[in-house]
């Protein structure tokens, strides 16, 4: 047998592919195992035409949040509801350095939404930036890893040179809904590279109230971007 193949097999033996949700070894394809796939809340139709949240009633086009609150971004999609399983997986991805989850997440987005996203005609995928201090603490921006992996799969460049996080903000999860919007006011600034784009996708891991997405979209609109689409892994409750 060819040496390269043997080495590959040996590495796989030492470091087998594991499911990013339950950590069990997955034998065939790298990714989320069949059992976890069945348990996770994949978003399906009907979904809110604005934020992409799961809807139970096919008669309505928009969720309560999007009907009662103006969002600055154009529209968006999400892969999962923010429930147990994926919640812990994303936590490990962000805080326990499980960087290899990024490509699995990107694959989940692409396998469901590749055509949908391509129809938007966006010129770039922009990861939601971390403030430089938080980036230094964590060592990587989780949204950038997913944006890069998704960009490769869809043939859309990922660009982290446009949006910058100007202020170090309190983590959103520690705030109530009103404070979330206030906390992010003017948190993002744009660089001159924004002139390259008229349509972009913003990529984030979790969408809760949409405050982060709106703050990014607002900054980008001021820089002359017309359409800002949202792609997130998980979407939680609105308000
Ligand atoms: Zn699993
Ligand atoms: Zn909505």
Q: What is each CA distance from 90 to 87, 95, 106, 107, 239, in whole angstroms? A: 5, 8, 13, 15, 22
Q: Which residues surround ligand 2, an ion (CB under 5 A)?
A: 48, 50-51, 53, 63, 66
d(CA 212, CA 73): 10
What's the 138 CA to ligand 2 centre distance in angstroms?
31
Q: pLDDT of the chain along its 239 residues, tens only?
A: 577 778 877 777 777 889 999 999 998 788 999 999 999 999 999 999 999 999 998 889 999 999 999 999 999 999 999 999 999 999 999 999 999 999 999 999 999 999 999 999 999 999 999 998 889 988 999 999 999 999 999 999 999 999 999 876 677 777 787 777 777 777 899 999 999 999 999 999 999 999 999 999 999 999 999 999 999 999 986 54
Task: State both tokens at 81.
Answer: 């509801």
What's the 5 CA to ligand 1 centre distance in angstroms?
27
Task: State both tokens at 86.
Answer: 């994926």
State the helix-helix crossing angle for 142-154 and 101-120, rounded to 10 degrees: 60
The answer to whether residue 55 is domain-embedded is: no
What's the 23 CA to ligand 1 centre distance in angstroms?
6
Among the listed residues 79, 12, 13, 86, the one whose alpha carbon sits nearest the alpha carbon of residue 52: 79
The answer to whether residue 94 is domain-embedded is: yes
> Measured in whole angstroms, how far is the alpha carbon of residue 168 from the centre of its chain?
20
> Measured in whole angstroms, how far is the alpha carbon of residue 229 from the centre of its chain?
11
What's the 54 CA to ligand 2 centre distance in angstroms?
8
What's the 186 CA to ligand 2 centre distance in angstroms?
23
pLDDT digit string, tens, across residues 63-75: 999 999 999 999 9
C-beta atoms surrounding 103 within 10 Å: 19
The answer to whether residue 8 is domain-embedded is: no
Beta bridge partners of 235: 81, 207
Element (H, E) at 65: helix 64-68
What's the confidence (pLDDT) of residue 103? 96
What's the 18 CA to ligand 2 centre distance in angstroms?
33
The domain spanning residue 114 has which CATH number? Answer: 3.40.50.2020
43-64: burial string, b at 16+ Cβ within 10 Å, e else = beeebbebbbbbbeeeeeeebe
Q: Residue 224 is part of which domain span?
A: 80-235
What's the 65 CA to ligand 2 centre distance in angstroms?
6
The bound ligand whose nearest atom lies closest to the alpha carbon of 48 is 2
d(CA 216, CA 209): 13
What's the confidence (pLDDT) of residue 89? 97
Contacts of 32 (CB under 8 A, 6+ apart): 19, 20, 21, 40, 104, 108
Beta bridge partners of 188: 165
The answer to whether residue 18 is domain-embedded is: no
d(CA 183, CA 179): 6
The bound ligand whose nearest atom lies closest to the alpha carbon of 86 is 1
The bound ligand whose nearest atom lies closest to the alpha carbon of 235 is 2
Q: Indicate the pTM of the whole model.
A: 0.91
The answer to whether residue 62 is domain-embedded is: no
The answer to whether residue 44 is domain-embedded is: no
d(CA 129, CA 175): 19
What's the confidence (pLDDT) of residue 95? 93
What's the confidence (pLDDT) of residue 239? 44
The answer to whether residue 106 is domain-embedded is: yes
Provide the domain count of the chain. Answer: 1
SS3 36: helix
The bound ligand whose nearest atom lies closest to the alpha carbon of 35 is 1
What's the 184 CA to ligand 2 centre distance in angstroms?
20
What's the 79 CA to ligand 2 centre distance in angstroms?
14
What's the 35 CA to ligand 1 centre distance in angstroms?
6
What's the 201 CA to ligand 1 centre distance in angstroms?
29
The answer to whether residue 33 is domain-embedded is: no
The bound ligand whose nearest atom lies closest to the alpha carbon of 17 is 1
Is 7 buried (19+), middle (13-18) or exposed (0-12) by CB count in 10 A?
A: exposed
């Amino acid at each position: 047998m060819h040496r390269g193949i043997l080495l590959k097999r040996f590495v796989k033996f030492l470091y087998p592919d594991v499911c990013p949700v339950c950590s069990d070894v997955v034998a065939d394809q790298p990714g989320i195992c069949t059992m976890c796939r069945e348990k996770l809340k994949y978003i399906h139709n009907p979904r809110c035409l604005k934020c992409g949240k799961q809807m139970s009633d096919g008669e309505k086009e928009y969720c309560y949040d999007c009907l009662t609150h103006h969002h600055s971004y154009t529209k968006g999609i999400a892969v999962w509801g923010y429930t147990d399983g994926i919640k812990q997986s994303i936590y490990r991805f962000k805080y326990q350095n499980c960087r290899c989850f990024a490509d699995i997440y990107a694959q989940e987005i692409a396998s469901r939404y590749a055509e949908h996203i391509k129809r938007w005609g966006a010129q770039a995928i922009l990861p939601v930036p971390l403030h430089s201090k938080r980036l230094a603490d964590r060592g990587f921006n989780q949204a950038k890893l997913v944006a890069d992996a998704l960009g490769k799969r869809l043939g859309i460049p990922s660009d982290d040179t446009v949006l910058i996080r100007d202020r170090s903000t309190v983590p959103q999860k520690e705030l109530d809904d009103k404070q979330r919007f206030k906390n992010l006011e003017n948190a993002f600034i744009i660089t001159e590279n924004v002139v390259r784009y008229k349509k972009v996708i913003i990529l984030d891991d979790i969408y809760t109230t949409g405050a982060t997405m709106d703050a990014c979209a607002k900054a980008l609109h001021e820089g002359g971007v017309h359409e800002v689409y949202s792609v997130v892994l998980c979407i939680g409750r609105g308000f």
